Structure 1
Amino acid sequence: MAESDLTLTLTANLRPAALDGRRGIVRLHPEVLTALGLRPGDPVRLTGRRVTAGIAARADTGASTALLYADDLLLGNLGVRDGAQIAVAPLPVTGARRVTLTGPVEIVAAVSPEMLRLALLGKMVTAGDDVSLLPQDVLPDAAVRSLVAAARRSLANTVGYAWTSALLTVVDADPAGGALVTMDTVVGWEHGAATRGDTDAGAGRSAPGTRAGTPASGPGPVDGSDLTGGPEAAAGADPPSVDELPGLRAQARELTELLDLGFHHREVLDRLGTAVALGVLVTGPAGSGKAALVRAVAAAVRARVEVIWAPELAALTNDVAARRLREAATRVRTGGPAVLLVTDVEALVPAEQPGPLATVFRQVVAETVRAGGAIVATTGRPESVDPALRAPDLLPVQIAVPLPDTALRQEQLTVLTRRTPLAEDVRLDEVAGRTPGFVAADLAALVREAGVRAALRQKSAETPTVAMADFTAALEVVRPTSMAASTLELATVTLEDVGDLVEVKQTLTESVLWPLNYPDTFARLGVKPPRGVLLYGPPGCGKTYLVTALAGTGRANVLSVKGAELLSKWVGESERAVRELFRRAREAAPTLVFLDEVDALAPVRGQATDGGTTDRVVAALLTELDGVEDLRNVVVVGATNRPDLVDPALLRPGRLERLVYVPPPDAAGRVEILQAAARQVPLADDVDLAGVAESLDGFSAADCAALVREAALAAMRESMTAATVTGAHLATARGRVRPSLDPAQVAWLAAYAEQHAPG
């Protein structure tokens, strides 16, 4: 786009769209875009107290032609506040040749220049600006959106959740007056490493379906940093020792023996008339230290490591990617013992529709292994890797990195805090017990967050320490990577907060909490714990609330899904969703998998008219529950109002073997529910909850809670300064809230429960 003299002055409005926050995007009315000769995705020059640049986008319906909609970061770069006057003008599309940044020490240490460049792709940068690591999200192309999702996962695994709020400063940019970051841009840290220019890569291309060079890939490698698996290999950091990798020593020993034999004892193999293939596939959850394991072992056997991040390679043109791959393999085959480490290999050789680059990769692996070189590929999603890659002449050896249990998490926390001054009240065993599903990268993020909390408390202290309260506060914001897509936000409730249902709570404690909290006791007694439970009862009687309370009591991760959400009209997609659900459950163990409305997910087979979709889903569900792959430290809880519609095969022992009836509350139960619902409600002295409960025949637990809520609203209608809820307010609410229980349904469920009662 040519230089333009067009300039409009608009009023800044701090109201960014949800996908724009801290991404350098400004929203303009369509008429303003037309007046400036702009299209969505074009760069613009913005002038306030400072001059900066951004990407123009179309504002929502109803926007004002006089306003420029931006976020706090962009207004900060302009040096203005909400309501200030901003001059807006078109800006030519110029690719940045070089960008140098600085930022928090922990971000600089964990984020490689390659990852940094990918996080900045498609953003306009100006010398002196602050920028975030949040990648561009306004991407119409589905393939590009999936790459951005991968970018988020990679940064979360490497840096922890601090990546979403971290700000970096552009120390220097060429040109300095606002340019677009592309794959040609040399990006680096101040006084640190930088990327090399990729002018031969065909990069600087815009991603498909985007303008102005929005990102074609996500940020860099997941593993490789000390215990946490971050990418400091690219930054020149020393590799960790095997002793610094608790929980991976058995895997390290196996890999060490293989590489040592192949690199230093070939003569023994020759005398035996055999050979060793140094092709290895390392699998394990993202952030668990797979690349750190490889680098530690390579250092132990005195071998160099050449690192390739597969998603970055896959983002290049096929010719350039193939050339880079062959160059890296050539360096590995010459100049002494060396290992080619390919992280996130599923991006190069996907299980579905592998492209030409997959063929080149398999050929390079075969040539390198045949020549005596070593190739180690890592993946967090082994089911997404082309099975052909595990052929005897490619990557025949597979090493699995497990999710750490409580004892291993305590060891990892000990390593991560070895240079951290801890207060006397810190108990790492308790922290380890409160972090189910956390991998090494998550624990590193937790320690960093606790350190930040401690620093904020003790800015002037000469000998600051990290206290247990800092870890507790950090646990509120740091979530395990494996739970990033969980659909259930846990409330701070436990079984003690559930009114009534004494027998139900005891049964659930035995069937759900004991297997999650005391797996060694079951092992010691030589029995397998119950695999699952089916909760059934009338609507509104607290089945979902019970599951939430179970999760709060047992400190377990919860994966929640409604039955219908897993069903898809596309053949194979529903079964894939079931497999993915249970894969995530295994990675995040101990996990409680909650299948709400399970009758929609697993109806009686042979009766559906959906072309067999639900029949295949039932088969997939049965396979996951008691298939060949062990479902360790995972308990499944189903909930339904119609237990007769659930396939009987799902209810036999070894599956959802315990059927637990959640009855409607009786008078005494209604009193407890009313008391629990009114715990935070100031009641007047004339309120008699026991008397109210007697009159609530046919009310479910949800109805009782609604009654208390309606009484509080009645008090507010009477006076917004009301201090208490009186008996009159409850009487008013009683006239508004009606019982929802169907007597016929309750009677049928009670008969079903009596028929299926144990004994």
Structure 2
Amino acid sequence: MDDVTLASLKAALAASPDNAPLRGLVLKAHLDRNEVKEARAILGDSAPDLFSEPDRLHAARTLVQAGEPERALLFCANHPSAEAALLSARALAALGRKDEARSAYQRAVSLNPTLEDRDLLAQLTASVRDVQPSAAGGPRLRVISNDDTAANEVDRVLAPPQPPLTFADVGGLEEIKQQIRKRIILPFQKPSLFERFKKKAGGGILLYGPPGCGKTLLARATAGECGATFYNIAISDILDMYIGESERKLHALFEKARQTTPAVLFFDELEALAAKRQFSREGTSAKLVSQFLAEMDGFAQNNAGVLILGATNTPWAIDPAFRRPGRFDRVLFVPPPDAVAREEILKLLIKDRPQESNLDLGFVVKHTSAFSGADLANVVETASDSAIERSLAQGTEAPITSADLKGALKEVKPTALEWLTTARNYARYANDSGQYDEVLAFLQAHGKS
């Protein structure tokens, strides 16, 4: 509001001081101009019941900024809005009533998440304690610490947890799930029956396919279905610059798994540890591959109850010795999701997010034929960004709409096409043993051959 208009309104208020709506309008104008002192002068000693609900909020904000929290609480009392709860939290914090302030803050954020204020929360969760001086004397210290760190967060720092997953958490891939149930999970669940047929639980299975199609998620879900301890082995956990250390670490990991059966060892980006030895430029890499082979099916090793899962985007780079029966003898192709799987994945991704009631997932499914699971997640995340921006602009929570999803489809591009182009060449010209028959069948079924 410009100076001339504001001066006119103030003159009108001086002529009719009992005009409550006019007083509220002038009060808001001064607040919008960040003129707290002038706003406080306009407020005067007026009682809360002389103001409408919106104007009571302006009055409460004026009093909080003017350093009068007690009176601000009078204007916030019995006000139903989230903004009033947040102003109450600020006033209570200024009065040192932190428990009540935290309760008011939580109520405000539950009503309107866009009002979240991390600085205020840190102030409400900080504690002050006096540290006694030492016997030798010294100053008395006042220590401010933040007590909002839960015990489980400390545990996360020491050992990042892996929340248990099951196949219900993995959208689509029903044929692969069925194969895993038959070949992997049942031997863990019915060991006596399999022992009668001289079959042991464990072994190795290699998952391959385009990036982002759920290989890692499927491995974690397999461990959850087996009720087994899951070890996610990162490349950095193995590779070492010193000769012999990588092999030693690999052996130690297998020993740990053997001691905690049933266990699942999951090696992501397997090609970094199991590349073809004839193409290795360093002797140390070839030794690591040999150690890996010995751990999986060596003369002195007993891996009963240990399942080795590997995932790779480049199965053609894996040393062929790993494909021998007894090692990664079961190789499963994890393709991009089909239409049914895409719908299921989208439902899992959109679940528990604010969304309109008639969200058009069918449109997304129809226009994402070459999208991986990660690409679909990117679509939902991009749509969520749009909803968050709209929420911040409106000052209230705005749900994800079909328009948000359609807008996201214009931004997100499929990432599996490049892999499928490369895989097509191997399926056509390097498939003597039939190891890429599944890839070829997928390409033919989707018209990409």
Structure 2 unaligned spans of 5+? 1-125, 138-150, 439-449
> Does residue 1:518 correspond to 2:190, yes or no?
yes
Alignment match, 2:404: 729
Deviation (angstroms), 1:491: 2.3
For residues 157 and 351 of structure 2, what CA distance do their matches in structure 1 show?
32
Deviation (angstroms), 1:85: 5.2
Q: Can you list the C-alpha shifts for 1:402-448, whole angstroms capped at 9, x where unaligned?
A: xxxxxxxxxxxxxxxxxxxxxxxxxxxxxxxxxxxxxxxxxxxxxxx
For residues 654 and 638 of structure 1, what CA distance do their matches in structure 2 show?
14
Alignment match, 2:222: 550
Q: Can you list the C-alpha shifts for 1:241-287, whole angstroms capped at 9, x where unaligned?
A: xxxxxxxxxxxxxxxxxxxxxxxxxxxxxxxxxxxxxxxxxxxxxxx
Distance 1:615 1:487, change over 3 A: farther
Alignment match, 2:357: 685
Contact 1:602 1:647 in 2 (8 A): yes
Alignment match, 1:621: 292
SS at match of 1:636: strand
Deviation (angstroms), 1:683: 2.9
Deviation (angstroms), 1:555: 1.3
Radius of gyration: which is bigger? 2
> Does residue 1:574 correspond to 2:281, yes or no?
no
Deviation (angstroms), 1:90: 8.5
From 747, 750, 754, the counterpart of 2:424: 747
Q: After the TM superposition, which residues 170-249 of structure 1 pair with which residues of structure 2 at under 5 Å, given as runs?
A: none
Q: After the TM superposition, which residues 134-149 of structure 1 pair with which residues of structure 2 at under 5 Å, given as runs?
A: none
Deviation (angstroms), 1:705: 1.4
Q: Can you list the C-alpha shifts for 1:385-406, whole angstroms capped at 9, x where unaligned?
A: xxxxxxxxxxxxxxxxxxxxxx
SS at match of 2:277: coil
For residues 436 and 370 of structure 2, what CA distance do their matches in structure 1 show?
23
How big is the alpha-carbon RMSD for the aligned residues of Structure 1 and Structure 2? 3.0
Structure 1 unaligned spans of 5+? 1-80, 93-164, 166-475
Matched AA of 1:573: E
Contact 2:264 2:308 in 1 (8 A): yes
Distance 1:563 1:555, change over 3 A: same
Contact 1:488 1:558 in 2 (8 A): no
Q: After the TM superposition, which residues 498-513 of structure 1 pair with which residues of structure 2 at under 5 Å, given as runs?
A: 498-513=170-185
TM-score between both structures, scaled by the size of structure 1: 0.36
Contact 1:603 1:646 in 2 (8 A): yes
Question: Comparing both structures, which one devotes a greater share of its residues to strand?
Answer: 1
For residues 588 and 485 of structure 1, what CA distance do their matches in structure 2 show?
23
For residues 691 and 735 of structure 1, what CA distance do their matches in structure 2 show?
13
Deviation (angstroms), 1:528: 3.6
Deviation (angstroms), 1:588: 0.9
Distance 1:685 1:670, change over 3 A: same
Distance 1:729 1:546, change over 3 A: same
Matched AA of 1:737: V
Q: After the TM superposition, which residues 99-138 of structure 1 pair with which residues of structure 2 at under 5 Å, given as runs?
A: none
Deviation (angstroms), 1:511: 2.7
Alignment match, 2:18: none
For residues 355 and 210 of structure 2, what CA distance do their matches in structure 1 show?
29
For residues 243 and 135 of structure 2, what CA distance do their matches in structure 1 show?
48
Q: Can you list the C-alpha shifts for 1:102-143, whole angstroms capped at 9, x where unaligned?
A: xxxxxxxxxxxxxxxxxxxxxxxxxxxxxxxxxxxxxxxxxx
The percentage of aligned residue pairs carrying the same residue is 35
Deviation (angstroms), 1:488: 6.6
For residues 670 and 684 of structure 1, what CA distance do their matches in structure 2 show?
20
For residues 486 and 590 of structure 1, what CA distance do their matches in structure 2 show?
23
> Does residue 1:710 correspond to 2:389, yes or no?
no
Deviation (angstroms), 1:553: 1.8
For residues 667 and 485 of structure 1, what CA distance do their matches in structure 2 show?
39
TM-score between both structures, scaled by the size of structure 2: 0.59
Alignment match, 2:273: 601
Q: After the TM superposition, which residues 377-416 of structure 1 pair with which residues of structure 2 at under 5 Å, given as runs?
A: none
Contact 1:604 1:647 in 2 (8 A): yes
Alignment match, 2:435: 756
Distance 1:633 1:646, change over 3 A: same
Contact 1:487 1:560 in 2 (8 A): no
For residues 219 and 160 of structure 2, what CA distance do their matches in structure 1 show?
10
For residues 619 and 687 of structure 1, what CA distance do their matches in structure 2 show?
53
Question: Comparing both structures, which one devotes a greater share of its residues to helix?
Answer: 2
Distance 1:684 1:745, change over 3 A: farther
Higher relative contact order (CA 8 A, sep 6+): 2
Alignment match, 1:590: 262
Contact 1:511 1:533 in 2 (8 A): no
